[in-house]
Amino acid sequence: MRIIQKLKWWIAVFAVLVGVGLANVAGVRAAGESSLTFGPTSQRISLKPGEKYRSSVIVSNPATSEGNTKFRLFVAPYTITNDQYDPSFDQINTYTQMADWITLDQTEGELKPNDNIEIGFTVEVPETAPAGGQYAAIVAQDMTNIGNGGGGNVQIANISAVASVVVADVAGQTREYGEIFENNMPTFVMNAPFVASAGVKNTGNVHTDAKSILQVWPLFSDEEIYTNEESEDNEQLVLPDTTRYFFNTWEDVPAVGIFRARQTVTIFGETAVNEKIIVVCPLWLLFIMIFLIALLLIWFATIIVKKIRKNKKSVKTEA
């Protein structure tokens, strides 16, 4: 009877713990911005050796600006520094030659609040241009509080600036090759969010768009409860000779449950699919469940031992 009473007490404690909610604190990240805006933020063009290409960008000064904004424009090489795709505007490689092919119609100006200006540019492609991807950025630097001294292009990381990235493919012998080297999902999730990761590598000489889609269903239903198919983040540019990671995040994960999840990754027509049964259970709840199971096992073992002893006594009495 003592064991049964103790078991009832622990079940009561378990019920109280289950009723206790866990609060999640979301961090807020603030970042400084230039007063200028750029449109478009990126554009894709197709080039041929020996030909010229014309396009334009629009520099705007928002209505919320406190006054006139002076700016200057210049062209910089565009590449990335890591597999998280942090941009770089000062590294030069075989895929950034286009920075030398672009000529701006205007390199400085001044805008009133809620004003904008369209500035054209010319891409003059040399006859010897290599086939494949080429990448450059047109940068608008806010000069209002900097002045015009110093000359040259100030390091973009240290200035208030915005950039419009020009993504080009040059006609010729291109190679479209890639690989999917990671497609992972956790099987056990202790707390939100649920994060699935994917890694792709572009081994060709031209850029491509890789895609990573996460879908989640209840264990015994085909009614989809989460997908990122409509998200703009499920498809990302991958530059030549680079790797890129995707992190698909399901934020509104129930506190407890069992689900079916599928992540589909695609690059250059190659597709990899990972399907899993995922279990969502908080760590504290898991410990309590293990404890209760252990307690039940002890209880059953005690009952069995008592029955064995009782049977032995009965045998001795009969003897």
**Of 15-24, 33-42, 67-76, 299-308, minimum mean pLDDT range:** 15-24
Nearest 5 degrees, angle CA 80-CA 84-CA 86?
40
pLDDT band at 315 (very low <50, low <70, confident <90, very high): low
How is 42-92 classified by DSSP, letter by letter?
EEEEEE-TT-EEEEEEEEEE-TT-SS-EEEEEEEEE-EESSTT--EESS--
Question: What's the number of domains the chain is made of?
Answer: 3
The answer to whether position 188 is within a domain reads: yes
Q: Lowest mean pLDDT of 101-115, 239-253, 266-280, 300-314, name the range.
A: 300-314
Count of Cβ atoms closer than 10 Å to residue 161 Cβ: 23
How far is 69 from 25, CA to CA, in rounded Å? 38
Task: Say yes or no: 52 and 99 in one domain.
Answer: yes
Same domain membership, residue 250 and residue 304 = no
Considering the domain architecture, whether residues 138 and 195 belong to the same structural domain is answered as no
Whether the per-residue pLDDT at 33 is higher than 60: the answer is no
Rounded to the nearest 10°, the torsion over CA 146, 149, 153, 158 is -30
Q: Find which of 138-147, 157-166, 214-223 is predicted with most confidence, using mean pLDDT.
A: 214-223
Cα distance from N-terminal residue to C-terminal residue, the chain: 29
Residue 19 placed within a domain: no
Q: Are both 300 and 230 inside the same structural domain? A: no
Report the SS3 class of residue 110. Answer: strand
118's enclosing H/E stretch is strand 115-124
- In Å, what is the CA distance from 29 to each residue of 26, 37, 41? 10, 20, 22
- Nearest by Cα to 134 from 211, 43, 199: 43
Distance of CA 171 to the CA centre of its chain: 31
Residue 256: CATH number of its domain = 2.60.40.10
Closest alpha carbon to 240 in 93, 24, 140, 26:
93
Using the predicted structure, report yes or no on whether residue 318 has a pLDDT greater than 90: no
Q: Is 75 contained in some domain? A: yes
Whether 50 and 150 share a structural domain: yes
Q: What is the mean pLDDT of the chain?
A: 83
Asked if the model's pLDDT at residue 272 lies above 70, the reply is yes
Judge if 166 and 184 occupy the same domain.
no
Higher-pLDDT residue of 39 and 273 is 273
Q: What backbone torsions phi and psi does residue 233 show, to the nearest 5 degrees?
A: -80, -10
Asked if pLDDT for residue 8 goes beyond 80, the answer is no
Is residue 23 in a domain? no
Q: pLDDT-based confidence at 220, cuts 50/70/90?
A: very high
* Choice among 1-5, 90-94, 139-143 with the minimum mean pLDDT: 1-5
Could you report the per-residue pLDDT of 175-212, keeping only the tens digit for each?
999 999 999 999 988 888 999 999 999 999 999 999 99
Q: Is residue 44 in a domain?
A: yes
Q: Determine, yes or no, domain membership for 194.
A: yes
pLDDT-based confidence at residue 20 (cuts at 50, 70, 90): very low
Domain of residue 57 covers 37-170
94 and 158: one domain?
yes
Residues 185 and 80 occupy one common structural domain: no
Min mean pLDDT across 86-90, 93-97, 159-163 is at: 159-163
CA within 13 Å, CB half, 19:
6
Whether 101 and 209 map to the same domain: the answer is no
Greater confidence (225 vs 281) lies with: 225
Answer yes or no: is pLDDT of 10 > 50.
no
What would you measure as the largest C-alpha separation in the chain, in angstroms? 114
Give the model confidence (pLDDT) of 240-268 as tens digits: 999 999 999 999 999 888 999 999 999 99
**What pLDDT does 18 receive?**
33
Q: Which residue has the tokens 């909610």?
A: 21
Same-domain status, 47 and 83: yes
- Last residue within a domain, chosen from 121, 145, 170: 170
Are 165 and 40 in contact by the 8 Å Cβ rule? The answer is no
202 plus 136 within the same structural domain = no
Of 7-11, 210-214, 220-224, 275-279, the range with the lowest mean pLDDT is 7-11
Average of pLDDT values for 19-28? Answer: 27
What's the rounded Cα separation, in Å, for the pair 185 and 100?
A: 43
Boundary of a domain, candidates 170, 187, 219: 170
Domain boundary among 150, 170, 190: 170
Cα–Cα distance, 215 to 280 (Å, whole number) = 16
In a domain, 80, yes or no: yes
156 pLDDT tier (thresholds 50, 70, 90): very low
pLDDT at residue 300 in the model:
83
259 belongs to a structural domain = yes
In three-state secondary structure terms, 318 is helix
pLDDT bin (cut points 50, 70, 90) of residue 47 is: very high
- Compute the half-sphere exposure of residue 79: CA atoms within 13 Å on the CB side of its CA: 19
| 237 and 152 in a common domain | no
Average pLDDT over residues 268-294: 83
**Averaged over 280-294, what is the pLDDT?**
73
